[in-house]
Structure 1
Amino acid sequence: MTKLVFMGRLEDVAGTGEMSVAPGPVEQILAALDPALAVELLGEKVRMAINGKLLTDMGGIVLGEGDELAFLPPVSGG
């Protein structure tokens, strides 16, 4: 399985901090999620990291067995 990790406010939207999904192309994985969650995850300011490495381009990414895809929302501080 592949693990999706939701950080910050995205955890609230997803209703969980992480979710196990079948490996495959990221586009297919996101298409299988609740549409409201997928829209949030694809937000302009949401960053993604695979196995701890920040991505700059999502095109053609295929997640394998044991991979972790983290969704990182923007952080505001004071």
Structure 2
Amino acid sequence: MIDLLFFAQLQEKVGSPKITIEANDISIKEIKEKFLAKYKMDHLLNEAMIAVNEEYSKEDAVVFSGDVVAFIPPVSGG
């Protein structure tokens, strides 16, 4: 099981701050394609920073059962 955390607009699109997926030994890119495509938020995900277990990562990072992946959209404001 891998926990996926969402913030700001991503959280609104998913409808929850967190979802758990049944997966192991899978890249972030594969997670986006297999589990997140149904939310139709590619444009937001492409701009989002990714953190695996609280360390920034890239889309090709491989995650395993027990890991936590956070998708953090860019922050703007004034």
* TM-score (structure 2 length as normaliser): 0.79
Cα offset, 1:35, TM superposition: 5.5
Cα offset, 1:19, TM superposition: 0.6
Counterpart-to-counterpart distance in 1, 2:3 and 2:65: 9
Question: What count of residue pairs does the alignment treat as equivalent?
Answer: 74
SS at match of 2:40: helix
Counterpart-to-counterpart distance in 2, 1:16 and 1:23: 22
1:50 aligns with one of 26, 49, 52: 52
- Partner of 2:5 in structure 1? 5
| Unmatched segments (≥5 aa) in structure 1 | none
Cα offset, 1:31, TM superposition: 1.5
- When residues 64 and 41 of structure 1 are mapped into structure 2, their CA distance, relative to the original with a 3 A threshold, is farther
Question: Would the aligned equivalents of 1:46 and 1:72 in 2 still touch at CA under 8 Å?
Answer: yes
Larger CA deviation: 2-11 vs 28-37: 28-37
SS at match of 1:32: helix
| Unmatched segments (≥5 aa) in structure 2 | none
SS at match of 1:3: strand
